[in-house]
Each structure stands twice: as structure tokens, then as C-alpha cells.
């Protein structure tokens, strides 16, 4: 990890041509270095903070290269909690590069990925869960993702576990007092009260853990594979779900020979659709390669849609395809409802094996709305996505919550079973540590490197 005492700089807007480019400078020498590359037109003294100043930008040779607006922020009233300067220049990559080169020539260094946010965390401007939400907010592809990340960034998860942490600390203090003064054992009534408080804390943590399934889907999206034997209308259904022509549609079986992927949004959740090659026995090496990729896509998908041609009687290939999907989450789509049907009700029931069945016409769009509704239920677990309340979005967070809940449960059992206070204290301290890892109060350099290395440079 780089030295956090250095003064750092980076381009904070996307690279390339734009209306403006923003270059950030953070660290104790920020004001000093900014003064060497920026000459304001106004000579007010002292230079006002949080006031935009217009002036000239100088390159490393002292030549004027642009006119820019500059904002100065004093510590700790900045994003990073350090002295900080933001340069808003015209959006030429050449100008931004020259400014960064001039700053580095004066003693700054280029920031690493996520280093501005890492410093904000290190300086107490946000906890670790809030810092992770910054990356999610930047990477949001839908409004729902942005709203969820903003709630996390505002400290929603910290507020949810705050009462748990307070309860655990209070109980630890009570038990440690009893251990310190051996003659003052914790009365049975007090133990019962502690157990009740720990059970309530576990329920609160459990609600947060249970939200992970929905939170992960919101953050990462939902992958749906469209599968079936050749020429049943998979590509037509794929295009109908997307609302545009993406896969080639032809009457010739085996037209789709490779995996075709595209993303859309349903209910604010990113949906990654995969149009797979028709699965059948084939001696064609190219088609077999596509079939192998289809099988891999099935294993990686959150759910599958098994497409069959309702205008043709069920075949052995259909049944073999269904056999491949035992144990997989999915639905059956009987396509071509605009044509006379050849499937009996009992055929569909036997084929579905408990999966929901949808009769659709990918050509006309009939039944697509109902299929999309099923997709939303699969994505959310049938629970409406609330615009308020905690939503855990990362596996790291869920694991720490589960560990804390498990430790609190063990402590409650020890207290309820009349065991010595030391047993409960051990588990309570481990539970408190897990909550600390969640928020970053307890952390290692490896953990911080892993998290912030996935950020973009300039944030």
C-alpha cells in the first residue's frame, strides 16, 4: 500500500474529450503545489476556501496551457478529510495530462485506484461499508442500483447494526464486571435479560443477512439462460425479452452456434440474457463447441428458461433437455402460441415437473409480460424491493454479519445454560470483532488493498 502521507493527484472525470476535465489534488501540500501551477486572476488575500477562482494553468515549464476554475477545501472539510484542491479545466486529454505532469513535477504523485476514498476512510469520513458503496454508486447501471448504493453510502447498514453493537458492548461490560468481582455473579434474572437482548440482536442481524439475496441481484444483476433444442424459437424469445433484434432468427436449425449475451433492465434490476445454441447431438465441431458453451451457461445462470415448440408434439430431444436441468431453477416456455397447439395439458405438466409454464408467441409478443413478471419474482424472491431499509449487497458483508450472529447465538446459549461468564465473553468479543471488520473498525492491509484496488483511479 502506498504512503498515505503523500500528496496525490489524478484525473477524476473519464478519460477522453469532454466539456470539462476535473483533476484532484489531496494531501497536506495540496495548497502549496496548487499555487505553483495555478495563477488566479483575482489577487485576494487570503485566498478564500470553497470559492471558485478563475485563473491560468501553467505546465511544468511555466507556460500557460489553459484557463481553469479552482476550488480549495481545508482539512477536515473535504472528501478525503485532507487539504484538497480541484481543478476544472477544458476537457482536452492533453491539458489534463499536462496539468498532472506539472503537479507531479512539483512533488505530488499519481493516486492509486480508490486512494482518495481510501483516505476518506482512513480519516474517518466514512466507514468501510460506506466506502464500498462509493464504487457501487459510480458503477450503477440503473436508477435502482444508484438508489441502493446511495442508501449504503449514507450509512444505512451502520445504522442498522449500531443498536446491535451497543447491546453487545453493554453486555460485555456487565459480564466483565462480574468476572472482575467474583463474588458478584450475574443473577439468573439478569442473564435472562441478556439472552433476550442477544436474541433480538440476532434477529436484527438475520434480517440484514436475509436481504443479501435481493441485494446481490440488485448490485450484480440476474443472469437468465434461454435454452432448448434447435429451432424452437429461442432467439426469437431472446429478442422479444430484450425488446430489439439482437440474435439472428432463421428457420434453419442450428443458426445460433455461439453464446449471445446482452443486458437489459427489468424493474430497475440489470438482467443478463444469454441466447444459447440449440442442444442436440451433432458431429459438426463448430456446433459442438457452441453446445458446450451452452452447457456452461446453464451452470453459471441464476435461472433458465426452457423453450419448447408447442406447435410440434413433445420429442425425445425435449425430454432429454429437461433431464439436463434437474435441480436448476427455471420455467418452461411453450413458444408459438399463435399457431395451433400440439401439446396436451398433461404433456406440459409432465414436462414442467413443477416449473411454471408460460405459453407465449415470441413473434407477436403474447405472454412476454407474464414471463417478465415471473423473472422479477425470481430475482427478488417474491419480496418487493423497498426503497427504504437495509439491503446487504456484498458477500463480504454477509459473511461478517453471519459470523457475528453465530457468535451472539453461542453467547446466548452459554448464558442460558448457566455456564461461566468467560465463555459468553469470548463469543461476544468475537462477534464484536466481526461487526468491526464489517465497518472497517477492525481491518488488515490485505483487506483494504483487495477492496480499494477495484476502484477507478481518481476516486
Average pLDDT over residues 350-357: 90
Average pLDDT over residues 18-25: 95
Please say whether the beta carbons of 427 and 407 come within 8 A.
Answer: yes
Nearest Cα neighbor of 299 from 278, 330, 269, 265 is: 330
pLDDT value, residue 326: 84
Average pLDDT over residues 303-332: 87
* pLDDT score of 171 more than 50: yes
pLDDT value, residue 186: 61
Strand partners, 299: none
pLDDT value, residue 252: 40
Does residue 456 come out as left (phi exceeding 0), alpha (psi in the -120 to 50 range) or beta?
A: beta
434 — pLDDT class (breaks 50, 70, 90): very high
Fold (CATH) for 221-380: Rossmann fold (3.40.50)
Please say whether the beta carbons of 158 and 379 come within 8 A.
Answer: no
97 — pLDDT class (breaks 50, 70, 90): very high
- How far apart (Å, rounded) are the C-alpha atoms in residues 425 and 418? 13
pLDDT value, residue 256: 44
Please say whether the beta carbons of 421 and 178 come within 8 A.
Answer: yes
Sign of CA dihedral 176, 157, 136, 104: negative
Element (H, E) at 359: strand 357-359
Lowest mean pLDDT: which of 41-55, 164-178, 270-284, 332-346?
270-284
* pLDDT score of 179 more than 80: no
- How far apart (Å, rounded) are the C-alpha atoms in residues 320 and 389? 44
Lowest mean pLDDT: which of 216-220, 241-245, 255-259?
255-259
Q: Which CATH number is correct for 137-211+390-440, 1.50.40.10, 3.20.20.150, 2.40.50.100, 1.20.120.430? A: 1.20.120.430
For the segment 435-458, what is each residue's pLDDT rounded down to a tens digit? 999 988 877 787 788 888 888 888
Instruction: Kindly give the interhelix angle for 128-138 and 421-439, rounded to the nearest 10 degrees.
Output: 30
Q: Which CATH architecture has domain 8-126?
A: 2-Layer Sandwich (3.30)
pLDDT value, residue 49: 83
Average pLDDT over residues 38-54: 83
29 — pLDDT class (breaks 50, 70, 90): very high
* pLDDT score of 73 more than 50: yes
* pLDDT score of 430 more than 50: yes
Residues 6+ apart with CB under 8 A from 54: 40, 41, 42, 67, 68, 69
pTM of the model: 0.78
Q: What is the DSSP string of 217-278?
A: HHHH-EEEEEE-STTSSHHHHHHHHHTS--S---SSTT---S-EEEEEEETTEEEEEEEPPP
Cα separations in angstroms, 401 against 240, 298, 393, 410, 448: 40, 30, 12, 14, 18
318 — pLDDT class (breaks 50, 70, 90): confident
* pLDDT score of 233 more than 50: yes
**Hey, what's the cell of 3?**
504512503
* pLDDT score of 230 more than 90: no
Q: How many CA atoms lie within 13 A of 38 on its CB side?
A: 30
Q: What average pLDDT does the structure give for the chain?
A: 85
pLDDT value, residue 218: 87
Please say whether the beta carbons of 360 and 368 come within 8 A.
Answer: yes
DSSP 109: E
* pLDDT score of 300 more than 90: no
**Hey, what's the cell of 156?**
444505512
**Hey, what's the cell of 176?**
466483565
pLDDT value, residue 187: 62
Average pLDDT over residues 78-93: 95
| % of the chain with per-residue pLDDT over 70 | 87
For the segment 246-265, what is each residue's pLDDT rounded down to a tens digit? 544 444 444 444 567 788 88
Where are the domains positioned within the chain? 8-126, 137-211+390-440, 221-380
Please say whether the beta carbons of 452 and 117 come within 8 A.
Answer: yes
* pLDDT score of 426 more than 80: yes
Lowest mean pLDDT: which of 82-91, 152-161, 353-362, 435-444?
435-444
Amino acid at each position: 500500500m502506498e504512503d498515505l502521507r503523500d500528496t496525490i493527484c489524478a484525473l477524476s472525470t473519464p478519460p477522453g474529450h469532454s466539456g470539462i476535465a476535473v483533476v484532484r489534488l489531496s494531501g497536506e501540500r495540496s495548497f502549496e503545489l496548487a499555487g505553483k501551477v495555478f495563477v488566479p486572476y483575482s489577487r485576494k488575500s487570503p485566498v478564500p476556501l470553497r470559492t471558485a477562482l478563475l485563473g491560468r494553468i501553467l505546465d511544468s515549464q511555466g507556460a500557460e496551457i489553459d484557463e481553469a476554475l479552482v476550488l480549495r477545501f481545508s482539512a477536515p472539510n473535504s472528501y478525503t478529510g485532507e487539504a484538497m484542491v480541484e481543478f476544472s479545466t477544458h476537457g482536452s486529454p492533453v491539458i489534463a495530462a499536462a496539468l498532472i505532469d506539472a503537479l507531479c513535477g512539483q512533488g505530488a504523485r499519481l493516486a492509486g485506484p480508490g486512494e482518495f476514498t481510501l483516505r476518506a476512510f482512513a480519516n474517518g469520513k466514512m466507514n468501510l461499508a460506506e466506502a464500498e458503496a462509493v464504487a457501487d454508486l459510480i458503477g450503477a447501471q440503473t436508477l435502482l442500483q444508484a438508489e441502493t448504493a446511495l442508501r449504503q453510502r449514507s450509512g444505512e447498514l451502520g445504522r442498522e447494526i449500531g443498536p446491535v453493537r451497543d447491546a453487545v458492548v453493554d453486555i460485555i461490560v456487565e459480564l466483565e464486571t462480574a468476572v472482575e468481582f467474583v463474588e458478584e455473579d450475574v443473577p439468573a434474572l439478569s442473564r435472562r435479560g441478556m439472552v433476550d437482548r442477544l436474541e433480538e440482536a440476532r434477529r436484527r442481524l438475520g434480517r440484514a443477512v436475509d436481504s443479501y439475496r435481493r441485494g446481490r441481484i440488485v448490485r450484480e444483476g440476474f443472469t437468465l439462460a434461454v435454452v432448448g433444442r434447435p429451432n424452437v424459437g429461442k432467439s426469437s424469445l431472446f429478442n422479444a425479452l430484450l425488446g430489439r433484434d439482437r440474435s439472428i432468427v432463421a428457420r434453419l436449425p442450428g443458426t445460433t452456434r455461439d453464446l449471445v449475451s446482452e443486458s437489459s433492465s427489468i424493474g430497475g434490476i440489470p438482467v443478463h440474457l444469454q441466447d444459447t445454441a440449440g442442444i442436440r447431438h451433432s458431429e459438426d465441431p463448430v456446433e459442438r463447441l457452441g453446445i458446450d458453451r451452452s452447457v456452461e451457461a446453464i451452470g453459471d445462470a441464476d435461472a433458465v428458461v426452457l423453450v419448447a415448440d408447442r406447435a410440434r408434439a413433445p420429442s425425445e430431444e425435449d425430454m432429454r433437455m429437461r433431464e439436463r436441468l434437474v435441480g436448476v431453477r427455471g420455467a418452461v416456455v411453450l413458444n408459438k402460441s399463435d399457431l395451433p397447439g400440439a401439446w396436451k395439458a398433461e404433456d406440459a405438466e409432465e414436462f414442467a415437473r413443477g416449473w411454471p409454464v408460460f405459453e407465449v408467441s415470441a413473434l407477436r409478443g403474447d405472454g412476454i409480460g407474464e414471463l417478465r413478471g415471473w423473472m422479477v419474482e425470481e430475482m427478488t424472491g417474491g419480496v418487493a424491493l423497498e426503497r427504504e431499509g437495509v439491503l446487504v449487497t456484498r458477500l463480504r458483508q454477509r459473511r461478517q454479519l453471519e459470523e457475528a450472529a453465530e457468535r451472539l447465538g453461542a453467547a446466548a446459549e452459554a448464558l442460558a445454560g448457566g455456564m461461566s461468564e468467560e465463555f459468553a465473553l469470548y463469543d461476544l468479543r468475537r462477534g464484536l470483532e466481526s461487526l468491526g471488520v464489517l465497518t472497517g473498525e477492525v481491518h488488515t492491509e490485505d483487506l483494504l488493498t483487495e477492496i480499494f484496488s477495484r476502484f477507478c483511479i481518481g476516486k
